[in-house]
Structure 1
Amino acid sequence: MSFPATGSIINIQSYKHNGYLHRNWEDTVILKGTPSQVICGNDRILVTESDGRQWRTREPAICYFNSKQWFNVIGMIREDGIYYYCNLGSPFMWDKEALKYIDYDLDIKVFPDGTYILLDEDEYELHRRMMRYPSQLDTIIQKNLQELIMMVTQKKGPFEPGFVEQWYERYLEFR
Structure 2
Amino acid sequence: MAGPQSGKRIEIQSYKHNGRLHRVWESTMVLKGTRNVVIGANDRTRVTESDGRIWVTREPAICYFHSKLWFNVIGMLRQDGVYYYCNISSPFVYDEEALKYIDYDLDIKVFPDMTFKLLDEDEYEQHKREMNYPRVLDRILYNNIDTLVRWIRQRKGPFSPEFIDQWYERYLTYR
Q: For 2:75, give the aligned amino acid.
A: G
Please say if 1:57 is aligned against 2:54: no
Counterpart in the other structure of 1:30? 30
Unaligned runs of 5+ in 1: none
Q: For 2:73, give the aligned amino acid.
A: V
2-structure distance, mates of 1:171, 1:81:
18
Superposed CA deviations along residues 109-130 of structure 1, whole A, max 9, x for unmatched, are 0000010011000000000010
Counterpart in the other structure of 1:68? 68
Q: Return the offset for 1:95.
A: 1.3
Give runs of ≥4 in structure 1 deviating > 2 Å: none
2-structure distance, mates of 1:91, 1:68:
5
Counterpart in the other structure of 1:140? 140
Q: Return the offset for 1:101.
A: 0.1
Q: For 2:56, give the aligned amino acid.
A: R
Task: Give yes or no for contact 2:4–2:94 (8 Å, CA) kept in 1.
Answer: no
2-structure distance, mates of 1:74, 1:156:
14
Counterpart in the other structure of 1:8? 8
Q: Return the offset for 1:71.
A: 0.1
Please say if 1:113 is aligned against 2:134: no
Q: For 1:173, give the aligned amino acid.
A: T
Q: Return the offset for 1:27.
A: 1.2
Counterpart in the other structure of 1:21? 21
Q: Return the offset for 1:57.
A: 0.3
- Count of aligned residue pairs for this structure pair: 175
Superposed CA deviations along residues 115-162 of structure 1, whole A, max 9, x for unmatched, are 001100000000001000000000000100110011111110100001
Q: Return the offset for 1:49.
A: 0.1
Q: TM-score, normalised by structure 1?
A: 0.99
2-structure distance, mates of 1:36, 1:116:
26
Overall identity of the aligned pairs, in %: 66
Counterpart in the other structure of 1:155? 155
1-structure distance, mates of 2:2, 2:39:
15
2-structure distance, mates of 1:157, 1:2:
21
2-structure distance, mates of 1:150, 1:166:
22
Task: Give yes or no for contact 2:14–2:102 (8 Å, CA) kept in 1.
Answer: yes
Q: For 2:10, give the aligned amino acid.
A: I
Q: Return the offset for 1:99.
A: 0.1
2-structure distance, mates of 1:112, 1:51:
32
Superposed CA deviations along residues 56-87 of structure 1, whole A, max 9, x for unmatched, are 00000000011111000000000100000000
Q: SS of the residue aligned with 2:174?
A: coil
Task: Give yes or no for contact 2:12–2:99 (8 Å, CA) kept in 1.
Answer: yes
Q: For 1:98, give the aligned amino acid.
A: A
Q: SS of the residue aligned with 1:173?
A: helix
1-structure distance, mates of 2:24, 2:148:
23
2-structure distance, mates of 1:59, 1:83:
11
